Chain A
Amino acid sequence: MVLQAALEGYGLRHRATVHNIANVDTPGFQRIDVSFEDQLKRAVDRMPSRGSMFRGVDMDHRRDNPLNRVAYKISLDQSSPVRADGSNVSIDREMAILSQNAAKVRDLTELMIRNYSTIKSAIRGRAG
């Protein structure tokens, strides 16, 4: 499901950011970047039943699910400005990414919980 694919990406970005923060004082360190949003969006666009609120739900068990082909790109950041000691980590930026990313993970997890709660309610035939 799309939520799961997104959580995978944000989870990787969290780990990369934590690594960058740990290396804030390492001379010559290049920060690690995780990018996947564009790819994820393209995978979602490739899914059938466009426009339906159930888009992608019927794809979960299929081998040709476009979500299986989302490549989470982990790369060295070559473009950020480099400090005097050769490192390109900015602690302010990493902390901002960290909290923004963690908030996304929390929200997506919450959506996932609600999703499963809904299914549970449907199975039991009553709310709660």
Chain B
Amino acid sequence: MVSATGLEAQRIRMDLIANNIANAQTTRTADGGPYRRRSAVFEAVGGTRNKFSGILDSARKQDVLGGGVRVSRIIEQAGNDAFMQVYDPSHPDADDKGIVMKPNIRIVDEMVNLIDASRAYEANVTAMNQTKQIGAKTMEIGRI
């Protein structure tokens, strides 16, 4: 079911955002260093990707329509440049100059993404309900 793939992908995205917000102040992780911001990369499943395969696929309706979306990978912030440097000598993770490296998570950005993800989730729910209604209506043909 195509809408379900959308729901799943958006839920993974919302989980990652929640994780980012929860760890906005985390300066110590199992891998060492501050928490690194994570985000999901979406990828379309099937469907016509370009003109050539479009012509090839037109013989097989099934493939061309596409099977929704999937999270192809989850990326983590790379390198240390993006971390926010805060002067706080009393912090246990401060270096010898009193600087603490904090995750580069801006709560406003995360909230905006969260709302975006939740709206996209709702859109997929609506699409799913329409599919259900069409299916139910089609079954009525058999009840005559």
Give the interface of A toward B (CB within 8 A): 11-12, 14-19, 21-27, 29-30, 32, 72-76, 91, 94-95, 98-99, 102, 105-106, 109-110, 112-113, 116-117, 120
Contact = CB atoms under 8 A, between A and B. Distances in A.
Interface of B: 2-3, 5-6, 9-10, 13, 41-44, 47-48, 50-51, 54, 57-58, 61, 64-69, 116-117, 119-120, 123-124, 126-128, 130-131, 133-134, 137-138, 140-141, 144
Contacts of B68: 18-19, 22-23
A113 B140 contact: yes
Contacts of A19: 2, 44, 47, 65-68
Given A18-B131, A22-B5, A106-B133, A12 B61 contact: yes
Contacts of B67: 19
A68 B69 CA distance: 32
15 contacts: A14-B130, A14-B134, A19-B44, A19-B68, A21-B127, A22-B2, A22-B124, A25-B10, A25-B13, A32-B47, A75-B54, A91-B123, A98-B127, A113-B140, A120-B144
Contact of B6 (A21, A106, A109): A21
Q: Provide the main secondary structure of the chain B interface.
A: helix
A22 B140 CA distance: 28
A74 B42 contact: no
Contacts of A74: 48, 57-58, 61, 64-65
Contacts of A16: 65-66
